[in-house]
Copies of this chain bind each other. A is one copy, B any other.
């Protein structure tokens, strides 16, 4: 009965099968599940719930930290269980239902979900389902490879189902730092002043009476799906390294830079990898997710400490970290996403943030979420929490997508996640645009010179010229602003015959 995993004896008779536990979840409930960027998600109850829905249809509002692994979002939405979903997802099948208007998706700044719950501005959580390493002697829940929103879900929920994952080493205990802001109007400052500081408790403190079920599982996290760096992402990394070196030379940054945040995905991972061969020293990370690149930086000694809300690693890297937790634990901490992403802390620490754009426009407005302005890719995630409050907000993107049929630098973005105010630097494989202190017309010239693909450069110049003829602080030709996008929709390419001939 794993007394080391359930240290409060009276909880041991809460152990049951996933199928039994799933019966505690009823139609119409709001369910808060652990899981953040595929890490620390529940491995059994979601699937038992989907199975049960085949014979007992039910619908829930599903909240998580961020994305789930093991196709849980696919399985739950295919089973018709997910009626509403927040605050983030990355699943192809769920994405299809969201874009068809079948699942109501609330795309949220990741620091804000539990703030709204706490203020009773969202429907309360009926049931939390939390993956744990173990339950402590006083009933505290020790998370696994992510904290995400698990702490607040468990604290605010009526009842809690705990999934104890036996594949998670007990050495994970002590990795987490659970701090929850106090209630308003008596909220105190968050006392965090350096990335390596611990300000909370190692376990999620809840009333053990709320634990309604305990389920044992034994499956590792889904491995990360990021692709290795390629020529273009390596070029992006090089431009960024050169720029940061110039900042150090100009005495605007020290060789330790400022604490780094890097977004999810292939490009951000590649950019961090680029730091391995950089002259920077004693780097620190204050991010929401650690990818392989962060672990490699720690291993190389170039990074001294990393704080995040989850670890999403490839299979090999995952094994290496799990087998050597004692070694990593002094240089890693996992926090609630409300703290890893908190505006207060991000602004205080002064992060250099690196996030990915789907598309960016002439003036530096960024779309990170909506393909062609309408179809949700993943969600804004934490990018808004970080970019808005950064010391320096960097966005990266390849200049082209879909083999050149899409330019990621467009006249006007079809959806805005990050306004020009929140975008200091833009990097593509062609170059880097330092937009700090520039007015919109100046920004446009730098973006055209540095970032756009040569395939689209002349067309973008022409657009800007005509826009300036019309005038304005931020010149545009409204009836042409989305012409590239509508051409893509109609012909499968943003390139017009003219552009192709010109090239």
Encoded as 1 (CB less than 8 Å from any B CB) or 0, chain A from 357 to 385 comes to 00000000100001011111000100010
Contacts of A424 in B (CB 8 A): 121
The answer to whether A104 and B416 have CB atoms under 8 Å apart is no
Contacts of A373 in B (CB 8 A): 472, 474, 476, 478, 481
- The answer to whether the Cβ of A414 comes within 8 Å of any Cβ in the partner chain is yes
User: With A119-B252, A350-B184 given, is the CB distance from A439 to B84 under 8 Å?
Assistant: yes
Contacts of A370 in B (CB 8 A): 472-474
The answer to whether B344 and A347 have CB atoms under 8 Å apart is yes
Nearest B residue to A123, CB-CB:
B437
The answer to whether A486 and B479 have CB atoms under 8 Å apart is yes
Total copies of this chain within the assembly: 2
- The answer to whether the Cβ of A402 comes within 8 Å of any Cβ in the partner chain is no
The answer to whether A416 and B414 have CB atoms under 8 Å apart is no
**Cα of A475 to Cα of B186 in the assembled complex, Å:** 41
The answer to whether A349 and B482 have CB atoms under 8 Å apart is no
User: With A365-B416, A436-B116, A471-B375 given, is the CB distance from A349 to B185 under 8 Å?
Assistant: yes
- The answer to whether the Cβ of A51 comes within 8 Å of any Cβ in the partner chain is no
- The answer to whether the Cβ of A165 comes within 8 Å of any Cβ in the partner chain is no
Closest Cβ of chain B to A476, distance in Å, is 5
CB interface residues, A 132-155, toward B, < 8 Å: none
Closest Cβ of chain B to A106, distance in Å, is 6
Count A interface residues, CB 8 Å.
Answer: 83
CB interface residues, A 447-475, toward B, < 8 Å: 467-468, 470-475
**Cα of A342 to Cα of B486 in the assembled complex, Å:** 40
Encoded as 1 (CB less than 8 Å from any B CB) or 0, chain A from 472 to 502 comes to 1111101101100110010000000000000
Contacts of A438 in B (CB 8 A): 104, 106
**Cα of A347 to Cα of B347 in the assembled complex, Å:** 12
Encoded as 1 (CB less than 8 Å from any B CB) or 0, chain A from 372 to 410 comes to 111110001000100011011000000000000000000
Nearest B residue to A377, CB-CB:
B473
- The answer to whether the Cβ of A24 comes within 8 Å of any Cβ in the partner chain is no
- The answer to whether the Cβ of A101 comes within 8 Å of any Cβ in the partner chain is yes
Contacts of A187 in B (CB 8 A): 193, 348-350
Nearest B residue to A190, CB-CB:
B189
The answer to whether B436 and A105 have CB atoms under 8 Å apart is no
Residue among B99, B186, B389, B474 making CB contact with A471, cutoff 8 Å: B99
13 contacts between A and B (CB under 8 A): A84-B439, A99-B471, A99-B472, A104-B438, A107-B421, A112-B421, A121-B252, A121-B392, A185-B258, A370-B474, A372-B478, A373-B474, A375-B471
A residues sitting closer than 8 Å to B (CB atoms) are 84, 98-101, 104-109, 112, 115-116, 119-123, 181, 184-191, 193-194, 250-252, 258, 342-344, 347-350, 365, 370, 372-376, 380, 384, 388-389, 391-392, 414-417, 419, 421, 424, 436-439, 441-442, 467-468, 470-476, 478-479, 481-482, 485-486, 489
- Given A189-B193, A374-B472, A384-B421, 17 more contacts at CB 8 Å? A84-B439, A98-B473, A99-B472, A104-B438, A107-B421, A107-B473, A119-B350, A121-B436, A123-B437, A185-B349, A189-B348, A370-B474, A373-B481, A375-B471, A416-B419, A417-B419, A478-B485
